Structure formats: structure tokens, C-alpha cells
Amino acid sequence: MRAIVFLCLLHAASAQWPSLWSSLDSLNEADNPENACEEPHSCSCCLILQQVNSLSTHFNSTLNELDKEYSQTLQQFSKFEASRTAFSVALDFSTFKCHGPKPADINVIYNHVFLNLGSGYNVNTGIFTALHSGVYTFAFTIHSDAGAADSPLAACAELYVNNTVVARLSEENKEDQEDGATNVVVLQLKAADKVAVNMPKGCSLCDDNNHYNTFSGFLLFATD
């Protein structure tokens, strides 16, 4: 502030050296800039100080607004970084193998991980846990092989959210040897919601290292 006042005084002094020195003497004796205007010969300096104070107030206000916007931008960026969630997994059999049929419903555990960004998918349980509230996209694909044409075959699976079925796939083969299907859904989840694929009793899923059976999901946008 002193430097700005000094520069302003130098500018004014180019036209009024005698009166400027008198204004400075009056300013030194004053308790605040407003008192400088009590003397007629000090009005020039008083106007300069008022203008400097006005500019300083405007500058500080603008700087505070910029700091506020910068902080908000950092918060949004941090939120975006923290909310990145995506996974894609598959059954992993080194040679062709069928999973099922089983006498009861079972949770499908996909043990081959293509991607698990955010670590929301648990490879030990086959369950994806939503880390953030938001809108998610999920896709699951099933494939099965009866071993021979015209053999009985049931390839089926269900997508669960917190133990509630939200989507199904079912293919009963009576004409060919293989069957497969894919389903894609968009869901709004809350943080800590759990999503998994279930294989109903009597169904089977067959695979090898080509990964025909997959389960994938990603966060479109967060809402928290």
C-alpha cells in the first residue's frame, strides 16, 4: 500500500510540487486519510489516497473471488479423480469347462480381471460395491455349450442389486449346441449398494480362456 501511495504522489507532484509537500506534512500529522482533507491545500493527496483505497478494496475483493473459484475447481477435480470407477471381469478356465448346473442358485465369481479401477469389484466374492452414489452402466454376458447338437441346455443368469433381481438372461437350447446372450442396464445406485450376477439352479455357464462370460460396469457420473 505504501508503495502505491508513493507512486501516486510522485505522479501528482509533477504538476504540484509545493502543494504536495505541504499535503504530505498534513498527512503525517493526521490520524487517517480522511483527516487530510480538513486542510484545503491537501485535497489533491486526499483524492489520490481515496482512489488508491478504492482500487485496493476492489482488488482484494476480486482476489478473494478468484481464490474461492480456484478452491471450488480443486474440489471438483478431486471429486472427479476420486469417483473414477470401472471394472470388467470374466470367468477364467484354462481349458473348456462348464460351471453348473447346480441344485441351487449360486453367486457367479468372475476370477479373471481385465480392469478394476477404484477396486469396487471383489474377486473373492464376485460382488461389486458402489463407492459413490451415481448413475452406473452394467453389462453381463452368458455362454453355454451342451456338448452336442440337440442336447438339453439352459444358459441363464440374473443381475442382482442388494439381493433384488433387476435384469435376467435365459437361453434354453433345443436346436443347436451353443447359446449365448448379453444384457446392458443403466442403474442409479447409492454408495455401498452391492451388484452381482447370480446363476439360477439348473443353469450352466461354459467357458475357456476366450472369456465368453463377462461382467462389467462403470460409473457414468456421480451424484454425491
CA dist., res. 120 & res. 136, Å (int): 12
Confidence (pLDDT) at 177: 65
Query: Do 206 and 71 form a contact (C-beta atoms < 8 A)?
Result: no
CA distances from 74 to 1, 42, 68 (A): 31, 48, 10
Confidence (pLDDT) at 190: 96
Give the chain's domains with CATH numbers.
Answer: 2-81 (no CATH), 83-222 (2.60.120.40)
Confidence (pLDDT) at 124: 95
Q: What is the pLDDT of residues 32-74, one digit of tens each?
A: 545 545 555 567 777 787 788 888 888 888 888 888 887 777 7
From the first residue on, what is the mean pLDDT of each consecutive set of 10 residues in the chain (224 residues)? 46 45 45 51 72 83 83 68 85 85 91 96 97 96 74 84 93 69 96 96 90 96 86
Instruction: For residue 103, give the 3-state DSSP assignment.
Output: coil
Q: Which three cell numbers stand for residue 221?
A: 457420473
3-state helix, strand, coil in the chain (%, to 5): 35, 35, 30
pTM of the model: 0.64
Strands (E), the chain: 86-90, 97-99, 106-107, 112-117, 121-122, 127-129, 134-145, 153-161, 164-173, 178-189, 194-199, 205-207, 214-222
